[in-house]
């Protein structure tokens, strides 16, 4: 039945209902656009922070393509480092034993960037990378004499994850405590029981669990250092 033939009371009620539906639809559309815009901003922030990690991943892939040629010259080698080849303190973290080893570290890097990518501006990421691998390598050199050769990024990934989790805690996000608890449990289990035999077979090498421990400690140390620096030298507002 056409609306014009309805009684006046029903016509008025119909107009009220139609106006209410239109208003609610407008509100829902605005909410959806707001959420969409927020998602775009968050994705853009993460994407803008991904240039440095992407460059790191690309460099590791390039080295993997020439693994047999570069490993003797770039791997962490205790005797070579003590003989003066200091570049191995940094370059060894960019090499991997095989493709599975590389893929696992790349996957770990992607997950961490998705979790905490908005914390890592290019300068912060570069500092964490350089300082992190330096501290981990020095710890391996002086405190783990049983490790004579080492390659891989997993130790530094532990540092990066712990740093991001500490930043979560500083922002009062409970996820930070969960991540820290998970890392502590993993590192503690590895120190007690060692790495999984399946993982050893997969990467065709012993897992340097000490590097994971030193990485976690390094991440906490770097967070405290950067936080202290920011408190003593706060950034000036523009």
Give me the pLDDT at residue 46, please: 53
pLDDT of residue 232: 79
Please report the pLDDT score of residue 160 as a whole number: 97
Q: What is the pLDDT of residue 30?
A: 44
pLDDT of residue 233: 74
Other Cβ atoms closer than 10 A to 20: 10
DSSP 118-151: GG--HHHHHHHHHHHHHHHHHHHHHH-TT--EE-
Residue ranges, the chain, pLDDT below 70: 1-50, 235-238
Neighbours of 53 (CB within 10 A): 20
- Token pair recorded at residue 234: 């706060």
Kindly give, in sequence order, each residue whose CB lies less than 8 Å from that of residue 117, ignoring residues fewer than 6 positions away.
Answer: 45, 46, 49, 50, 53
């Amino acid at each position: 039945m056409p609306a014009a033939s309805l009684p006046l009371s029903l016509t008025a009620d119909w107009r009220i209902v139609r106006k209410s539906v239109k208003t609610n639809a407008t509100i829902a559309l605005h909410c959806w656009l707001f959420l969409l815009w927020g998602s775009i901003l968050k994705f853009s922030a993460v994407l803008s922070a991904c240039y440095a990690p992407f460059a790191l991943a690309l460099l590791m892939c390039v080295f993997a393509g020439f693994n047999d040629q570069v490993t003797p010259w770039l791997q962490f080698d205790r005797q070579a480092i003590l003989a003066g080849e200091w570049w191995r303190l940094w370059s060894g973290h960019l090499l991997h034993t095989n493709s599975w080893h590389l893929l696992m570290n790349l996957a770990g890097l992607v997950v961490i960037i998705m979790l905490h990518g908005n914390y890592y501006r290019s300068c912060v990421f570069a500092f964490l990378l350089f300082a992190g691998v330096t501290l981990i390598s020095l710890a391996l050199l002086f405190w783990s004499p049983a490790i004579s050769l080492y390659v891989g990024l997993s130790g530094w990934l532990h540092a990066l994850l712990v740093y991001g989790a500490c930043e979560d805690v500083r922002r009062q996000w409970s996820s930070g405590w969960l991540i820290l608890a998970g890392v502590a449990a993993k590192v503690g289990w590895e120190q007690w029981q060692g790495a999984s035999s399946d993982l050893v077979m997969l990467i065709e090498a012993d897992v340097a669990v000490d590097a994971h421990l030193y990485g976690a400690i390094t991440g906490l140390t770097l967070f405290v250092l950067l936080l202290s620096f920011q408190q003593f030298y706060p950034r000036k507002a523009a």
